[in-house]
């Protein structure tokens, strides 16, 4: 049986994604009641972080512990990866010892190279191009609050970054319409947009994206690795704040999300962080549940 990886949302079929989300809801109930079972006793997850993290590390590590397994945090500065050992060699060695590996890194090709040499499932915990674990949690959160997202209208406000690009893939896999409002020069990858023209469009005016939307999502103006561009980005993104004005023209039952960490008064107004339409905190918590379901899927398929 070929090993299954989760490098993008396209690695699972829509039916498989829905199955994972169903299990995620069950894992959430289990967590509420603290009825954990040791379904992955003695299993070890390796966690390679070449960028910072709070949510991803805590959710994967806690998730493995709650399922009876163990998670191993691997920082580049403390491993030979940080001293230039080829990623292919690292993948072969690590996967001969442990059961599943998550990687947070820069270029997407780096995780593809790792996965090509790994004999166990590899999970993308964020690359410059995609953040599928986060959008899986976002989908769980929408479904939990509003039911199916199929046929709904989703607005992305801000940078055409890894989150935005993952939303493009989500639009295809979960069958919704996506309007992306971003400034010129900060668009998502053209090939991704072109491959999904039937459901994805780019507009300049955030109001055009937000009007009638059932879900509005945003993210930081400067992603990890782009911090040095923040002054230029603050100028470019000035009109792209998720705020009450945009919410007022969205659907009356619109939800909004932010994957966090957030910069209040930049991409999102401070008051919106605590608004009743915000599901940001559920979205963060659901990383725990959806990733448990993902790990279960990858270890059993
Ligand atoms: N949303 C997210 O992935 O958060 P961290 O960078 O804290 O893991
Ligand atoms: N786009 C952000 C997401 C952080 C979770 C980044 O890559 O820094």
Write down all domains in the chain, each with its CATH number in brackets: 9-130+286-300 (3.40.50.1370), 134-283 (3.40.50.1370)
Ligand 2 atom with minimal separation from the 219 CA: 1
Span 106-121, pLDDT tens digits? 999 999 999 999 999 9
Percent of the chain scored above 70 by pLDDT? 100
Our mutation pick for probing the ligand 2 site, out of 133, 219, 259, 262, counting the most ligand atoms within 8 A of Cβ, is 219
Which helix or strand (DSSP H or E) is residue 217 part of? Answer: strand 215-218
Compute the average pLDDT of residues 156-179: 98
User: What is the predicted pLDDT for the residue at 284?
Assistant: 98
Compute the average pLDDT of residues 243-259: 97
Ligand 1 atom with minimal separation from the 284 CA: 1
Ligand 1 and 104: CB distance under 6 A = no
pLDDT for residue 1 is more than 90:
no
pLDDT for residue 283 is more than 80:
yes
Our mutation pick for probing the ligand 1 site, out of 279, 287, 291, counting the most ligand atoms within 8 A of Cβ, is 287
Asked if 193 and 202 count as a contact pair (C-beta separation under 8 A), the reply is: yes
User: What is the predicted pLDDT for the residue at 134?
Assistant: 99
Q: Band of the pLDDT at 140, cuts 50, 70, 90?
A: very high
Ligand 2 atom with minimal separation from the 223 CA: 8
Catalytic residues, by residue number, are 104, 131, 134, 219, 259, 287
User: What is the predicted pLDDT for the residue at 132?
Assistant: 99
Ligand 1 and 55: CB distance under 6 A = yes
Ligand 1 and 259: CB distance under 6 A = yes
Ligand 2 and 220: CB distance under 6 A = yes
How many angstroms separate the CA atoms of 264 and 246, rounded? 16
Which of 12, 50, 8 is CA-nearest to residue 296?
A: 12
Compute the average pLDDT of residues 234-240: 97
Ligand 2 and 141: CB distance under 6 A = no
Cβ-count burial of 203 within 10 angstroms (0-12 exposed, 13-18 middle, 19+ buried)?
middle
Ligand 1 and 201: CB distance under 6 A = no
How many angstroms separate the CA atoms of 41 and 65, rounded? 9
Q: Band of the pLDDT at 261, cuts 50, 70, 90?
A: very high
Q: What is the pTM of this model?
A: 0.98
Task: Report the 3 state secondary structure along 122-188.
Answer: EEECCCCCCCHHHHHHHHHHHHHHHCCCCCCEEEEECCCCHHHHHHHHHHHHHCCEEEEECCCCCCC
Cβ-count burial of 91 within 10 angstroms (0-12 exposed, 13-18 middle, 19+ buried)?
buried
pLDDT for residue 78 is more than 80:
yes
Q: How far does the centroid of ligand 2 lie from the alpha carbon of residue 36, in Å?
A: 31
Q: How far does the centroid of ligand 1 lie from the alpha carbon of residue 173, in Å?
A: 22
């Amino acid at each position: 049986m070929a090993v299954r990886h989760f490098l993008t949302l396209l690695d699972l079929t829509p039916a498989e994604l829905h199955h994972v989300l169903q299990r995620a809801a069950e894992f959430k109930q289990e967590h509420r009641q603290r009825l954990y079972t040791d379904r992955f006793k003695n299993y070890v997850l390796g966690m390679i972080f070449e960028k910072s993290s709070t949510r991803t590390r805590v959710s994967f590590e806690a998730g493995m512990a709650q399922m009876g397994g163990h998670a191993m945090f691997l920082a580049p500065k403390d491993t030979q990866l940080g001293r230039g050992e080829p990623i292919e060699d690292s993948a072969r060695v690590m996967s001969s010892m442990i059961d599943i590996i998550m990687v947070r890194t820069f270029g997407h090709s780096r995780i593809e190279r790792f996965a090509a040499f790994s004999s166990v499932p590899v999970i993308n915990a964020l690359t410059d191009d995609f953040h599928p674990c986060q959008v899986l949690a976002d989908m769980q959160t929408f479904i939990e609050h509003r039911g199916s997202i199929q046929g709904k209208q989703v607005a992305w406000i801000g940078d055409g970054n890894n989150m935005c690009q993952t939303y493009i893939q989500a639009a295809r896999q979960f069958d919704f319409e996506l309007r992306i409002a971003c400034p010129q020069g900060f668009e998502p990858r053209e090939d991704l947009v072109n491959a999904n023209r039937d459901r994805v469009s780019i507009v300049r005016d955030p109001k055009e994206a937000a009007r009638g939307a059932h879900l509005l999502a945003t993210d930081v103006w400067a992603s990890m690795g782009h911090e040095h561009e923040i002054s230029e980005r603050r100028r470019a993104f000035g009109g792209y704040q998720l705020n009450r004005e945009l919410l007022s023209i969205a659907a009356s039952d619109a939800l909004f999300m932010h994957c966090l960490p957030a910069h209040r008064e930049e991409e999102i107004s401070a008051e919106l962080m605590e608004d009743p339409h915000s599901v940001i905190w559920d979205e963060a918590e659901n990383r725990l549940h959806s990733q448990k379901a993902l790990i279960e899927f990858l270890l059993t398929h």
